[in-house]
Amino acid sequence: MQKPELLAPVGSMAALDAALRYGADAVYLGGDLLQLRAKSAGFSLDALAEAAKKVHACGKRLYVTVNAFARNTELDPLKAYANQLYDAGADAAIVSDLGALVTMRKACPSLELHVSTQANCQNYAAAETYYTLGAKRIVLARELTVQEIRELRAHIPQDLELEAFVHGAMCMAYSGRCIISSALLGRSANRGDCAQPCRWKYHLVEETRPNQFFPVIEEDNVTAILSSRDLNCIDLLDELADAGVCSFKIEGRMKTEYYVAVATNAYRHAIDRDLPIDLLRKELDTISHRPYTTGFYHGELPHDHSNRGAYEQTHTFCGVVLSVENGVATVEQRNRFVQGDTLEAVSPAAVGLAVPVPWITDASGEPVTVANRVRQILKIPAADGLTAGDLLRRKNDDCRSAVNT
């Protein structure tokens, strides 16, 4: 059986470079229209064309999210947009809205179309209907179990592909269709403008006592009853592949290059079976996350699916290795580290390589004892095996780091 595709999220050129370097087979990103994330995570058509050139030079594929639900005024622009995406080098568009799917298919038959998880496709009749309308791939609803995926696969055309999320943020709302942000702030989650109010802390107030706030506490004196855990399926890849999933998708277009690099690297090694699974589980703990879950794949969510209000990570992203020459590494700093620290390198070839830092200098050779200026160019000794493009991190004293990477 062919290895499943590893699909990584991209919200910046730095994240794109990380995804390609750390083993993604394909990437997905947003463009100018209906991309369902903050505008800052979207690529202009020129930037998208540049990204497509990079991706294709590596023999990989690029998909563009067009997955917000379209309004009447957006249908005509979609006709031109479909052709613009194809001309820019997009290998497929990911679409939620049925009208958008049909409109783009008619406007540009050559552009491959994938049905987004936002469409919450969870039965074979719906999947086959999308297929007859021109869809090449279904991104499965997150509420499906492995057995339901297996049954769906058995009833659909062989050339209709199935993609499933294996890692990243989840939403308490059904297939992500939440209206809390719209109700509280006028910012629609279904238009790419979610303020994430589910992750706020709430109190109970009785209407005749407006100034008395009673905390709703789950445990550890915090609450986040509306906020879900994060998905982590590093142990379920064989099950999902056996059920018929051909693409493993990592969530996180708003995440940093460090998050994209570590998550992509871990799943790449898991698919290739060339590193111990215990080590890869620990790797996924090094990135900022809510407590992990395997979602619905083995049935209904546990009753304690909320996340206790905490983000956890065992390590903090400290810098990017720009070059290595004559035993010296040139590093662009991202978070604080100090002389005497032992950092770790994340690279495609060596996970957790120790990088002692007995000395630091700035670009002009002046000694530095504390690296605390973001994006400052520094020099440190290069450990054996350290290469340009590697990322550096330090272990946190407390896994609940204040730095959200």
Name the phi and psi angles at 29, rounded to 5.
Answer: -150, 165
| C-alpha radius of gyration, the chain, whole number | 22
pLDDT given at position 26: 98
CA 24 to chain centre: 12
pLDDT given at position 9: 97
Architecture of domain 5-173+227-293: Alpha-Beta Barrel (3.20)
Q: Choose the weakest-confidence range: 5-9, 305-309, 319-323.
A: 305-309
Q: Is the pLDDT of residue 188 over 90?
A: no
- Give CATH superfamily name and number for 315-395: Translation factors (2.40.30.10)
The average pLDDT across 289-311 equals: 76
- CB contact set of 313 (below 8 Å; sequence gap of 6+): 285, 286, 287, 288, 289, 396, 399, 400, 401, 405
Percent of the chain residues past pLDDT 90, beyond the cut: 74
Written in H, E and C, the secondary structure of the chain is CCCCEEEEECCCHHHHHHHHHCCCCEEEEECCCCCCCCHHHECCHHHHHHHHHHHHHCCCEEEEEECCCCCHHHHHHHHHHHHHHHHHCCCEEEECCHHHHHHHHHHCCCCEEEECHHHCCCCHHHHHHHHHCCEEEEECCCCCCHHHHHHHHHCCCCCCEEEEEEEEECCCCHHHCCCHHHHHHCCCHHHCCCCCHHHCCCEECCCCCCCCCEECCCECCECCCCCECEEECCCCHHHHHHHCCCEEEECCCCCCHHHHHHHHHHHHHHHHCCCCHHHHHHHHHCCCECCEECCCCCCCCCCCCECCCCCECCEEEEEEEEEEECCEEEEEECCCEECCCEEEEECCCCEEEEEECCCCEECCCCECCEECCCCCEEEEECCCCCCCCCEEEEECCCCCCCCCC
How would residue 225 be classed by pLDDT, with cut points 50, 70 and 90?
Answer: low
Q: Choose the weakest-confidence range: 234-238, 291-295, 314-318.
A: 291-295
How would residue 404 be classed by pLDDT, with cut points 50, 70 and 90?
Answer: very low
Q: Is the pLDDT of residue 256 over 90?
A: yes
Nearest alpha carbon to residue 113 among 81, 144, 141, 143: 81
The whole-angstrom separation of Cα 242 and Cα 146 is 9
Of the two residues 315 and 198, the one the predictor is more confident about is 315
- Classify residue 295 as left (phi > 0), alpha (psi -120 to 50) or beta: left
How would residue 177 be classed by pLDDT, with cut points 50, 70 and 90?
Answer: low
Tokens of 340: 């005497």
Q: Is the pLDDT of residue 261 over 90?
A: yes
The whole-angstrom separation of Cα 150 and Cα 137 is 15
Yes or no: say if 117 and 140 are a contact pair by the CB < 8 Å rule: yes
The whole-angstrom separation of Cα 326 and Cα 272 is 33
Q: Is the pLDDT of residue 22 over 60?
A: yes
Q: Is the pLDDT of residue 192 over 70?
A: no
- CB contact set of 76 (below 8 Å; sequence gap of 6+): none
The average pLDDT across 165-184 equals: 77
pLDDT given at position 405: 38
The average pLDDT across 230-250 equals: 97
Q: Over the stretch 39-73, which tens digit does the pLDDT of each residue have?
A: 677 899 999 999 999 999 999 999 999 998 899 99
CA distance to 19, 24, 138, 271, per residue, from 160 (Å): 26, 21, 7, 22
Q: Choose the weakest-confidence range: 140-154, 185-199, 212-226.
A: 212-226
Q: Is the pLDDT of residue 401 over 60?
A: no
Residue 54 amino acid letter: K
How would residue 302 be classed by pLDDT, with cut points 50, 70 and 90?
Answer: low
Q: Is the pLDDT of residue 182 over 90?
A: no
Predicted model pTM: 0.89
Name the phi and psi angles at 188, rounded to 5.
Answer: -80, 125
pLDDT given at position 307: 55
